[in-house]
Structure 1
């Protein structure tokens, strides 16, 4: 286990695929960045919603900005994987709903 910030951030290859995360949680740095930067939640809202210290949320954002290129690349790869999976594995429920609507 590699400790990044003694107080807030760690990387453990056995948890969340080795993504940097807030110590003692499964909340990855990228989760915080997405909630704040893409979804528009304030850092105070994120901390409150997930019962995190504000310091740990700010530490996650600091880590994100220090490693932004790497984390953004990983987010894009994960999104591409999900999209490919959806294309190759259509939802049976969605198919059934489409069939029912066309009847």
Structure 2
């Protein structure tokens, strides 16, 4: 089975931070996992949104995800933490124009 998955999934240092991705694309395995598990997209729906990948690519990504569950989930958590840190450090120009009023609490 690994040889079939390797036709669809690749890891290249310097591309997508070296994270597993659909071969020839910048769509990461973790992206497919999030779209499928968190957003509830079926494999067919994912392909309809990204027609440059195949249904086999999506299923290979899901198989890879389940074979490397803890590793991929850790990568997702790390990316979410990084996004939160960036958000906390980034000041909104809109908020500054509104007089620094924190509209996120409204």
> What TM-score does the superposition give when structure 1 sets the normalisation length?
0.85
Aligned length: 98
Aligned to 1:26: 26
For the residues of structure 2 that align with 1:65 and 1:11, how far apart are their CA atoms? 16
Instruction: Specify the SS of the correspondent of 2:71.
Output: helix
Superposition pairs of residues 76-87 of structure 1, within 5 angstroms: 76-87=77-88
Superposition pairs of residues 18-97 of structure 1, within 5 angstroms: 18-51=18-51, 52-96=53-97
- Of structures 1 and 2, the one scoring higher in RCO (CA 8 A, sep 6+) is 2
Stretches of structure 2 that go unaligned for 5 or more consecutive residues are: 102-106
> What TM-score does the superposition give when structure 2 sets the normalisation length?
0.83
Stretches of structure 1 that go unaligned for 5 or more consecutive residues are: none
Question: Which runs of 4 or more aligned residues in structure 1 lie more than 3 Å from their structure 2 counterparts after TM superposition?
Answer: 3-6
CA RMSD after TM alignment: 2.0
For the residues of structure 1 that align with 2:45 and 2:68, how far apart are their CA atoms? 23
